[in-house]
Structure 1
Amino acid sequence: MLYCGIKLTHDGCIAVIEDNRLVFSHEVEKFNNNKRYSEIPDTNFITEVLGMNGYGVSDINLYSIDGWAGLKESEVRVRSNGTELNVIVAPYREASLSADSLKTYEGNGFIIDGQSLAYTSYLHSTTHIFSTYCASPFSEKSDPCYMLVYDGGMYPRLYYFDPAQGKLENLGPLFMFMGNIYSLFSLHFKPFFNEGSGPRVDDLSVAGKVMAYIALGQVREDLIQMFGRVYEKHFSPSLEFSWTFSQEVQRQVTEQGIPHADVLASFHQYLERMLVNCLNERIRKHGRKSRYFGFVGGCSLNIKWNSAIRNSGLFDEMFVSPFTNDTGTAIGVACCERYKQTGKVRLDWSVYSGPAIVKNEPAEGWSSRNCSIHELASLLHVTQDPVVFLSGNAELGPRALGNRSILAAAVQPQMKDRMNEIKCREGYRPVSPICLEKRASMIFSPGTRDPYMLFDHKLRDEWAERIPAIRHLDGTARLQTVGPNDNERIYELLQEYERLSGIPVLCNTSANTLGSGFFPDVRSATEWNGTKYVWCDETLYEKR
């Protein structure tokens, strides 16, 4: 049985599941250097993606489309062979706590390649849940689990999922800050305040920058108490609340002359405490029916919040998927339909299920030669030059996990500045470490397995001078661990590099142009001209 899940809107994506296996999940932004968060431009794109993976439109048994804005149903506009098409899909979330979160919405007239197709649709919040639960270790035995869904357009909504009983219980919002409060609030303060556009203009790139910038500030208890007072005084269950809250805090901060870095650091901590405390209270009231927890939605890309929840002791095991943002809902909606048809939840998947790298000709002025992993390790060690590393299929989700990475030696402190410069990023932004899993606990605390860069780790003092380029201003690092079964080529590269240098760590950042998805081919990586070297599947390209 072939299930095709489709995310038409923001973070457009197409995923195909065959029985219990994820065959592929291809995001629009991973093609043609498309802009990040791109929508599906035309249903012809679906035809093309199916075709490059060996399928025709009629080969798919069931099509399912992710839900979107609206409380009863939603109308999404897309083009089909250039003609505008209105598609009715499920809402964004439930209209009430008693609403059926597993409800199937059925539709007709979805046109792909001239064929008018029937389809199903599921709530956006539910597709998020299924994307993470089905990929989690909890799904192996259909264990019940608490799931927190928190993305930009949603309050943090807690669910209890027991797939064996067919039960998805909506336990309601933990508190009344939508996920985009993190960026909307920050846009009221320097360096993120844009006087030209005003703080009401949301910016999807801000949240990651804020998470890095807060290392420059101090957490102040007086500010955390202020946030609590403003929340209590001005709270209203409306979309305007985030604006009202931020404006009032901005007014008081300006009056008192408080450094903006302190405000942002304290607000991060305020939200972190609310998450942990409200989770604890809600689960206690529910009778603490599971010790398993999944976190999904754009807010679960916040590694510090993830670590705070994991370290709280509330759960025995926590899972966040690498496609936790909206890119994962194509997988999630296909999993919803599969669950409806079969009752199965376990999904066999690989994070490297994106489009394959295209090994076309390099840009003018580049030469090429054969280059083994051993030779590449030597090049990184001897030259201290960054290398664009392209291999196999792209990663799912927003994190570069080796196959679409820029790698470099971490032994020089100036390498962080160099990596930020070639990526056109602010100087306070960190560069992530990629490390052999078997060495991670020796270098980082806790240094536990973290193959998808989703938790916070502290660099141990004795390593701070040896690999300064990956140490953030607060001493932490967004670590990726690599075991022998995670990524064969990266694992071999790290082993070879350790043999030459004594260090099992490299710098790792995403290989892309500013604001776009990963490089899809050799040509675009060499046209970019950000590095002297590009390596792709045993071939080294060097700028002459």
Structure 2
Amino acid sequence: MIVLGCNGFSRVSEFFSERLGATGVNKHYLLGHDAAAALLVDGRLVAAVEEERLNREKKTTDFPANAIDWCLREAGITFEDVDLFAFPWDWSSQILGEILDGIRSSPSPQAAKTELMGNISDLFDQVVSHQAILADFEARTGHRPDPAKVRFVPHHLAHATTGYYLAGMKDSAFLVSDGRAERFSTLTGEIRDGRITVFDDTVTGAEYSIGTLFSSITRFLGFVPNNDEYKVMGLAGYTAPPNPNPFVEHLLTLHDDGRYTFTKPLQTDNLHSHDALFEEYFGPFEDTLEYKARVAAAAQQMLNVATAHQVRHLEDRTDLDRLLFEGGVALNCLNSTPLFEGSRFEDMQVSFGASDTGITIGAAAHAWLGHPDTDPASIRAAAAPVTPYLGPAYDDAAIEEALEAFAGRVHVSRLDDDEVIGHVAKLLTEKVVIGWFEGRVEHGPRALGHRSIIANPGFDDIKDIINTRVKHREPFRPFAPLVLEEQAPKIFDMGRKTSSPYMTFVFPVRDEYKDRIPGAVHVDGTSRIQTLTDEGTPRLTALLRKFIELTDTPCLINTSFNVAGEPIVCTPTDALNCFMGTEIDYLILGNHLVAKTDLVNQ
């Protein structure tokens, strides 16, 4: 059975721009972001890629035409071979009616309600309804799927299934939390034998979305909502949360059934609905590190308190010992570690596709698991953790073709496999920055060693060099260390975790190692680590082993191969353009070591 999952809408960005002013700093405050496609063949994930990697528009909402085309070509099939088409949204007429009823009963002025109801009705008709999605698919691909082959998967169930599928399909409890789905923002439940049970009394409406509230705080601090929340996480490390914390004491209300609400509900159509409240709590906005850090620390503590409350209640509802945490809120890695450590669960997983990048995988897996022709034997055969390296790869011929376009501007050395490891490890003993490009593009918002920028964390100023000369981003931003899985507990206080392969957990650095890896230690003494194994990332792991042998420094810095505001590089040409436009010292393209000609000739 072949299942194609896809997410993205041709007109959603235009619609939100025209109707809700979602432009500029607010441009990602909409539905359909992280457009992507994924392809399952007999339960095995054979291809998945985000549209942004191909159309070069960060967090694009556009219909994933390029991603779909690549997935089909990678598998050597056409639309006629696809058995099921899965979409990670289920905007039914019933959902529309419930949303409109909620607006009618709200205390807003009648004129505002009438305008909002009109906007929501138009959004439904023009963009997100079943009919609109299928019309969009046909307009962009030339293929109209047979309705019998189409599955519309509720957004949060797609999230839950993403975590379940990527973690190897073991029975698990789950918490899903994000900005909003069709109507809701968060829910909990269980997955047993591929069947989902939602604990209906834990469902929380969009007006009480901790994800949207955190995005509103992100916007208030001058960053891009639904995009720059990691900047708020970075700032939170610069100070302790205020005591008392007004977000926790006055805005957040915890309920006995495991839900939470806000004393002032969000106006999800008003990007500034809580700005006055933020200034009431913290004083008029100041564009200073001290002010932003104080608000960020308070917001981070509020999010931690809210999700911990949900997990405590979930513990009482399930006898399962494994927790899946999915949705955009799950990428708040400052929350993940204390959430797990404070729970009774024996394991907690946050997948590399936890945000909307992964819901095409979840939608496809949900459609496959729920099909009557899917037998238990095929499920057992597919039940293994999935690698994140799912996107396009480029062979030597493609790399050399790209290099030809840069002739005269770069100096290229062709190395064999052993020479790459030895040569790059030796380069990394110095204060250099290297672009590392190999294999298939990783899936998800984090570079996991196939499209990465790497450096030696033993230099005190390496973080500033990368932030200012390479990434062109704020100087307070931290970097993640690569560490061998077997050495990680010696260097970091990992508690009950033994691995963190997707940078979804943060751990304190042990005191005896802080001075040895200063470039990878955040101001609060923690690091968001990526653990490496010989099986998962053989070449990068071999490089790290050789680097440790030469330097006795146990980690390498890893950050995404891009500059601020651009997607992670995908093709060799993308990598070369980024290399030439920054102060990256060397570029590894497969087995090609690339340097800038003007520097080589100095």
Q: TM-score, normalised by structure 1?
A: 0.85
Structure 1 counterpart of 2:77: 55
Q: Percent identity?
A: 23
Residue 281 of structure 1 aligns with an amino acid whose one-letter code is H
Cα shift at 1:231: 4.2
Structure 1 segment 475-514 matched on structure 2, within 5 A: 475-514=525-564
In structure 2, the residue corresponding to 1:180 is in which secondary structure?
Answer: helix
Structure 1 counterpart of 2:307: 275
Residue 402 of structure 2 aligns with an amino acid whose one-letter code is E
Structure 1 counterpart of 2:219: 187
For the 8 Å contact 2:7–2:64, the answer to whether it is kept is: no
Residue 15 of structure 1 aligns with an amino acid whose one-letter code is A
CA distance in 2, matches of 1:369, 1:534: 11
CA distance in 1, matches of 2:66, 2:195: 39
Unaligned runs of 5+ in 2: 9-31, 97-119, 254-261, 598-602
Q: Select the residue among 22, 25, 31 that pairs with 2:48.
A: 25
Structure 1 counterpart of 2:442: 395
Q: Select the residue among 86, 103, 123 that pairs with 2:154.
A: 123
Structure 2 counterpart of 1:102: none
Q: Select the residue among 381, 402, 414 that pairs with 1:361.
A: 402
Q: Deviations 1:419-452 (Å, cap 9, x if unpaired)?
A: 1111011111001100111211111111731111
Structure 1 counterpart of 2:28: none
Residue 5 of structure 1 aligns with an amino acid whose one-letter code is G
Structure 1 segment 227-306 matched on structure 2, within 5 A: 227-231=248-252, 234-236=263-265, 239=268, 244-254=273-283, 259-284=291-316, 286=317, 288-306=318-336
Structure 1 segment 94-105 matched on structure 2, within 5 A: none
In structure 2, the residue corresponding to 1:405 is in which secondary structure?
Answer: strand
Residue 395 of structure 1 aligns with an amino acid whose one-letter code is E
Cα shift at 1:281: 3.0
Q: Deviations 1:319-351 (Å, cap 9, x if unpaired)?
A: 111011101111111111101112666554221
Unaligned runs of 5+ in 1: 79-83, 92-105, 195-201
Structure 2 counterpart of 1:5: 5
Higher helix share: 2
Residue 253 of structure 1 aligns with an amino acid whose one-letter code is F
Residues 486 and 27 of structure 1: CA distance in aligned 2, closer, same or farther (over 3 Å): same
For the 8 Å contact 1:107–1:120, the answer to whether it is kept is: no
CA distance in 2, matches of 1:253, 1:87: 38
Q: TM-score, normalised by structure 2?
A: 0.77
For the 8 Å contact 1:72–1:90, the answer to whether it is kept is: no
More displaced, 264-273 or 336-345? 336-345
Cα shift at 1:62: 1.5
Structure 2 counterpart of 1:430: 478
Q: Deviations 1:84-137 (Å, cap 9, x if unpaired)?
A: 99674399xxxxxxxxxxxxxx97894264332122211111111111111224
Q: Deviations 1:288-345 (Å, cap 9, x if unpaired)?
A: 3322211101111111111111111331111111011101111111111101112666
CA distance in 1, matches of 2:33, 2:121: 11
Residue 472 of structure 2 aligns with an amino acid whose one-letter code is C
Q: Select the residue among 581, 588, 602 that pairs with 1:535.
A: 588
Structure 1 counterpart of 2:27: none
CA distance in 1, matches of 2:271, 2:312: 24
CA distance in 2, matches of 1:445, 1:13: 36
Structure 1 segment 313-324 matched on structure 2, within 5 A: 313-324=343-354
For the 8 Å contact 2:437–2:575, the answer to whether it is kept is: no
Residues 210 and 113 of structure 1: CA distance in aligned 2, closer, same or farther (over 3 Å): closer
In structure 2, the residue corresponding to 1:187 is in which secondary structure?
Answer: helix
Q: Deviations 1:392-445 (Å, cap 9, x if unpaired)?
A: 001110110100000111110100101111101111100110011121111111
Cα shift at 1:523: 2.2
Cα shift at 1:246: 4.6
Residues 260 and 45 of structure 1: CA distance in aligned 2, closer, same or farther (over 3 Å): closer
In structure 2, the residue corresponding to 1:427 is in which secondary structure?
Answer: coil
Superposition CA RMSD, Å: 3.1
CA distance in 1, matches of 2:35, 2:525: 36
Residues 463 and 125 of structure 1: CA distance in aligned 2, closer, same or farther (over 3 Å): same
Higher strand share: 1
Residues 308 and 490 of structure 1: CA distance in aligned 2, closer, same or farther (over 3 Å): same
Residues 248 and 110 of structure 1: CA distance in aligned 2, closer, same or farther (over 3 Å): closer
Residues 385 and 43 of structure 1: CA distance in aligned 2, closer, same or farther (over 3 Å): closer
CA distance in 2, matches of 1:21, 1:180: 34
Residues 512 and 237 of structure 1: CA distance in aligned 2, closer, same or farther (over 3 Å): closer
Residue 121 of structure 1 aligns with an amino acid whose one-letter code is F
CA distance in 1, matches of 2:174, 2:70: 34
Structure 1 segment 342-361 matched on structure 2, within 5 A: 342=374, 347-348=383-384, 349-357=386-394, 358-359=398-399, 360-361=401-402
Cα shift at 1:164: 5.9
Q: Deviations 1:149-204 (Å, cap 9, x if unpaired)?
A: 1112253322233336664443423693341211212433xxx237xxxxxxx622
Structure 1 segment 129-148 matched on structure 2, within 5 A: 129-137=160-168, 139-140=169-170, 143=171, 145-148=172-175
